[in-house]
Amino acid sequence: MDLLDKFDYILESRESMPFQKADPLTVVMDEVLSETEAVIQGRRTILAGTNNYMGLTFNGEAIDAAKKALDDFGTGTTGSRVLNGTYGSHKALEAEIARFYGTEHCMVFSTGYQANLGLISTLCAKDDYLIIDADSHASIYDGSSMGNANVIRFKHNDVDNLERRLKRIPEGAGKLVVIEGIYSMLGDQAPIKEMLEVCKQYGAMTLVDEAHSMGFCGEKGRGVAEMFGVEHLCDFIVGTFSKSVGTVGGFAVSNHPKFETLRIACRPYMFTASLPPSVVASALVNIQTIARSGNRAQHLWENSRRLHAGLKDAGFTMATDTAESPIIAVLLPDLEAATRFWETLFLNGVYVNLSAPPATPAGYFLMRTSLSAQHSTAQIDQIIDAFVKTASDIGLSLTP
């Protein structure tokens, strides 16, 4: 038997998509002009789906620090954090993130995916209970399947449903509830205060993934837990450098007195090479930039509200009633409409994400935008105009 036969259904589904001149899975950025523009297939294109929330990928200070780290320490560490892969800069970055979050401890991972994989699979062992939102990111699901815990899902953002699940778990059992501050597909916020309070009422430990909220939520930019004043109810916060921080890597912070034990228990931390010094240097500078980010976050929120209002007024069906985050998603009726819309919008000069199941909840076909603090107001208006033109080009009716 050919082991690859099992993927035939994916090929068939892809072949059924009516792409003609461009396909989202084969987009190549030929030239990246800035955080908000690239040349793709020979055309200048507005980037409106890159998770580059704080617009720091071309931050001059971070680039200089990365270049210096390359000269001083070379291109990579060639080792795990627990062998030869811990340099002074890894420790300095962990200290900086712990300072940023006001926590005792921080562990830096090679990606945010690995931070979730590592924390979740290591914290929850056989006989423990892991309780996760049904719309959790793949890294949370994968962490669940890597551990041996009993995994229980609750309905997306449903506090009562979470409470019903917690009620049924034997008293005294180890329990970890994992939620995201902002959900990456629909861009909706978790009712974090109510959720974390219920968790604590039932003696559960909590992990909040702030991948899509760090940088611009909360006064200091720590995320949704800060925004709602409930950081003291989070046992662990996980984040990534691949969005607001503008590079690659992940982290977990905590005040738990035994947190450092994870460095010698957590396989996705131990059995992989550490981040290259140039990445570590740029992450450090960009986190410092976020900490003193002035009006960057404010401009990002203005952009988000402007795009949401513009698309809603034009008659698009929005995933959320208001702009809860810089992820502004438009719902399309089915995969065929989503396919045609994505390609036509792209040919009209705007790149967004076509998101469909299994990345989205069942039945959700999205044009998912994720805005940047570097988008100008004029670019936001161009994005709105391109959406409206695209709807007209493909005959999608709007109801303003």
- Point out the residues that are catalytic: 184, 212, 243
Size of the site for ligand PLP (CB under 6 A): 14
236 touches ligand PLP by CB under 6 A: no
d(CA 19, CA 339): 7
Whether 89 and 284 have beta carbons less than 8 Å apart is answered as yes
Q: By C-beta, is 103 or 139 nearer to ligand PLP?
A: 139
- Indicate if the alpha-carbon torsion angle 375, 379, 385, 390 is positive or negative: negative
Smallest distance from the beta carbon of 72 to ligand PLP, in angstroms? Answer: 25
d(CA 304, CA 322): 9
d(CA 352, CA 359): 15
254 touches ligand PLP by CB under 6 A: no
Smallest distance from the beta carbon of 184 to ligand PLP, in angstroms? Answer: 4
The interface region with ligand PLP, picked from 82-90, 144-152, 205-213, 318-326 by CB under 6 A, is: 205-213
> How many helices and strands in the chain, by DSSP H and E?
13, 14
The 350-351 sheet, strands edge to edge: 31-32, 37-40, 43-47, 350-351
Q: By C-beta, is 192 or 386 nearer to ligand PLP?
A: 192
- Among 38, 123, 211, 214, indicate the residue that binds ligand PLP (CB under 6 A): 211
- Among 24, 112, 221, 310, indicate the residue that binds ligand PLP (CB under 6 A): 112
Smallest distance from the beta carbon of 351 to ligand PLP, in angstroms? Answer: 17
Smallest distance from the beta carbon of 219 to ligand PLP, in angstroms? Answer: 22
The interface region with ligand PLP, picked from 29-37, 111-119, 263-271, 386-394 by CB under 6 A, is: 111-119
Can you spell out the DSSP letters for 59-72? -HHHHHHHHHHHHH
- The interface with ligand PLP within residues 128-187 (CB under 6 A) comprises 137, 139, 180, 184
Q: Which residue is nearest to ligand PLP (CB)?
A: 112
d(CA 273, CA 249): 12
Q: By C-beta, is 112 or 223 nearer to ligand PLP?
A: 112
Alpha helix stretches (DSSP H) within the chain? 8-15, 60-73, 88-101, 112-123, 138-146, 159-168, 192-201, 224-227, 267-270, 277-291, 296-314, 335-347, 377-394
Q: Tokens representing 162?
A: 């979470």
Smallest distance from the beta carbon of 185 to ligand PLP, in angstroms? Answer: 9
- Among 96, 135, 209, 231, indicate the residue that binds ligand PLP (CB under 6 A): 209
Binding site for ligand PLP (CB under 6 A): 111-113, 116, 137, 139, 180, 184, 209, 211-212, 240, 242, 250
